[in-house]
Each structure stands twice: as C-alpha cells, then as structure tokens.
Amino acid sequence: MREEIEIAKTHFEKILLEQLNRVDMLKNVDDWIDFSKIHPIIIGIIQGDGIGPEISVHAKKVLEFLLRSHLDGGKVQLRDIKGLTIENRAKVMKAIPDDVLEEIKKCHVLLKGPTTTPRKGDKWPNIESANVSMRRELDLFANVRPVKVLEKKIDWMFFRENTEGAYILGSKGINVTDDLSVDFKVITSQGSERIIRLAFEYAKNNDIKKVTVVTKANVLKTTDGKFLATAERIAKEYTEIEWDDWYIDIMTAKLIDPARQAQFRVIVSPNLYGDIMTDEAAQIQGGVGTAGSANIGKKYAMFEAIHGSAPRMVKEGRVKYADPSSIIKAGALLLHHIGMVELSKKLDMALDICTTFEKKISITGRNNGATGEEFTNYLINTLNDSNLSEKWKKYQ
C-alpha cells in the first residue's frame, strides 16, 4: 500500500510542478493579435475526419466567395490542412501529429472540421481529444458560443473557460489501486481572470448590462470558490454592469424556464459547466448542429462546428447529406474575429434566411433532403442577392 501512495505522490508532484510553471507563464500577459496589421492573414482549414472533409469543403467555398477581393488582393490566404484524422492520430499515438501541429501553427486562424474523439471500448486507442489538445497547445482559453432564439427573446453569449478546470488533467488522472481512481481539477487565478474579464469586456463593448457567473462553488469550495471570488473582484471594475451567480444545477433548469431564460445575456463559467450548458443551449436553439463555436486565444483562434464527426453517417454512406451549416456559422465567427465584421454579418443573415426564414431547401441528413453541396449553392445564391439585408429585415 505504501508503495502505491508513493507512486501517486510522485505523479501528483509532477502535476503540481507543471501547473506552477503554467501559472508563471500565465503571469506574462501577452497583447491581443492585431489583424489589421497582419498581411496576409492565413486561414487554415482543418478538414478533420468522418464528415469533416466534406463539410469543410463547403465552408471553404463560402469563404472563398465572401473573401474574393481579399484573396485576390493578398490580404487573406486560405490553406488546407489535412492529416488531422483519427487514422493518422492513432498511427502516431498523438492527439495532434507533430507535422500537422507545425502546419497549424503557421496559420493565424483556423476553421476546423470535426475530429473523432476515441472512447474506451471503440476500435481506436484511447488518445486525447484533438480539440482539447489544440486548445491547450494554442492556448485558446476562451470558448465563445452564441445562442439565439428570436421568438423566445433568447440572446445568450457563453464564455466557457477552455484550457483548465476538469479538462486540463483529464488524461492525467491516476488509478491509485484497482479500486481507487482520482482525477484532478485545476483552477488558477490568472486563468479565471482572463476569461471573466473577456466576458465583462464583451458585455461592456456591446452595451449589455448583465453578466452571469456559473459555478458549483457551494460544493467545490476551493477551485470553483476561486473562480467565483475572482468574478467578484473583477466585477467591481465594471460598475455599470450588474452581475449574478448561479450554481450549474439550477442554471441548467433556469435556461429552460420561460420566465427566466431571456434575462440571461452573457454567461461565464469554468470548462465543464460551459461544455454542458452550451449543448443544452444549442438544443434550445434547434440542435447542436445549429451552433458554431469560437476557441479564442490572444495569438491563435480556432472556429469549429459543435457537433462530432458522425461516423454513423459515413458508415451508412450519407456523407454528402451532412449539414455544413454549423461549420459555416463557425466561419462567420472567424470573419468577425479577424475584423471582417460586415462580411460576418452578411453570412449570418444568409444563414438565417436559408436555414430558418425562407428555407427553400432543407437538409435532413438523408436522401430525402438536400445535399450539403445543394445547400451551399443555395446559400451562395442568397449571399449574391443585392437585397440580402432588406430580405432579412422583412423576416424580423
């Protein structure tokens, strides 16, 4: 028994040293990248696996259409990044193969197709999720997920901490004995501060008067306690913004409470609660396939569909019927991030028209619906319409 405890202690010591180094790095606060000064802005399109290569081709076509003059003028470059497939990752036993990571780091921003996350019992080795690894490697500390439901007056912006919490050591738990397993959750002052500040800054810049902090600080007194205490401290700097805090359990109930849901606007939380809430929120909006997700750091940023790689669609030969609207929506978030705000708005409007308002064709994921290519052509035709914004306003 003693020996097992010694092994666990050595493991824990190593983790603590790594995390203390991380805190030191977090103390050096970098400036945000300024895209107006970057020439060319390199957008990497990571195809992923499963339905990823198919839907990312459609997203690329839409970006090419919108960015035509910037591509011709040399302000923007699009670059395909292949090889982030489960087959390659399993071959080298890495969440992201080294050569792929090198290519990724040569880009400024990334649009990412889904990648398979192995789970115990499937045919793949149990390597770490490519998303989780990329968020850590590129320090993409903010997972920003908008959810809107016009008829319910829902307009939420989630800021999920993306690099620590229950995730950071998710692959480094320890089986002390056959019967005793321990995982670790990490919250740092610096990690909490930067995501909470981003949420408050977003509220301030968009004239939103309310920020909601979600934790389980009544039970996880140390880690969530720190997150909540940090929020309390930062909130004092934003006197014009009202803030409140909720525990994750009651928050998941209140998100579906018609009397309460529209009151939430900007929501900030540690990693795992944000993961759970944003799936719930996306479902309220119409399903996880309808949501886009931004993973933002001060240097790099990665934009992706919320859904997975849909291995069942691949197995059943339905890839061409996969819905590209989620990754295209992620493309709109990408355009916004690199400062092309008008193009981003245009794309959002066209998506609203094609997926909700006009919906001339619909995608079902099967051969009784449109293909991704047909949908993309419909979207591009809609974008091409010079009356796009009038058309959109008409539906409001």
Q: Smallest distance, Å, CB 235 to ligand IPM?
A: 26
Binding residues with ligand IPM: total (CB under 6 A): 5
Q: Which is nearer to Mg ion, 50 or 97 (CB)?
A: 50
What's the full length of the chain, in residues?
396
Q: Which is nearer to ligand IPM, 164 or 352 (CB)?
A: 164
**Binding-site member from 77, 88, 129, 252 for ligand IPM (CB under 6 A):** 129
Position of minimal CB gap to ligand IPM = 129
d(CA 297, CA 26): 12
Tell me which long-range contacts 259-262 makes (C-beta under 8 A, separation of at least 24). 261/152, 261/154, 262/152, 262/153, 262/154, 262/155
304 binds Mg ion (CB under 5 A): no
163 binds ligand IPM (CB under 6 A): no
**If DSSP codes are grouped into helix, strand and coil, which group holds residue 29?**
coil
Q: Smallest distance, Å, CB 166 to ligand IPM?
A: 10
d(CA 106, CA 117): 24
Q: Smallest distance, Å, CB 146 to Mg ion?
A: 15
Q: Which amino acid is at 273?
A: Y
Q: Smallest distance, Å, CB 102 to ligand IPM?
A: 23
**DSSP codes, 160-213:** EE-SSBTSTTTT--EESSSS-EE---B--HHHHHHHHHHHHHHHHHTT--EEEE
d(CA 22, CA 32): 19
Q: Smallest distance, Å, CB 275 to ligand IPM?
A: 5
What tokens does 235 get? Answer: 């909130």
Please count the CA atoms within 13 angstroms of the CA of 374 that sit on its side-chain side: 15
131 binds ligand IPM (CB under 6 A): yes
Q: Smallest distance, Å, CB 295 to ligand IPM?
A: 8
**Binding-site member from 116, 117, 285, 371 for ligand IPM (CB under 6 A):** 117
Q: Which is nearer to ligand IPM, 78 or 272 (CB)?
A: 272
What tokens does 62 get? Answer: 């839409």
Taking the CB of residue 200, how many other CB atoms lie within 10 A of it?
22
DSSP annotation of 360 = S
**Binding-site member from 55, 110, 132, 277 for ligand IPM (CB under 6 A):** 132
When CB distances are held under 5 to 8 angstroms depending on the partner's kind, the choice from ligand IPM, Mg ion, none that residue 294 binds is none
**Binding-site member from 54, 245, 275, 323 for Mg ion (CB under 5 A):** 275
326 binds ligand IPM (CB under 6 A): no
d(CA 176, CA 185): 17
Cα distances (angstroms) measured from residue 306 to each of 188, 310, 341: 26, 12, 22
When CB distances are held under 5 to 8 angstroms depending on the partner's kind, the choice from ligand IPM, Mg ion, none that residue 26 binds is none
What is the side-by-side strand order in the sheet with 242-247?
A: 76-81, 41-46, 109-112, 301-305, 292-296, 142-149, 154-161, 266-269, 210-215, 242-247
Cα distances (angstroms) measured from residue 110 to each of 81, 99, 392: 9, 16, 28
Q: Which stretch binds ligand IPM (CB under 6 A): 89-97, 125-133, 313-321, 380-388?
A: 125-133
When CB distances are held under 5 to 8 angstroms depending on the partner's kind, the choice from ligand IPM, Mg ion, none that residue 56 binds is none
283 binds ligand IPM (CB under 6 A): no
Q: Which stretch binds Mg ion (CB under 5 A): 42-50, 134-142, 272-280, 381-389?
A: 272-280
DSSP annotation of 144 = E
Q: Which residues bind Mg ion (CB under 5 A)?
A: 275
- Where along the sequence are the contacts to ligand IPM (CB under 6 A)? 117, 129, 131-132, 275
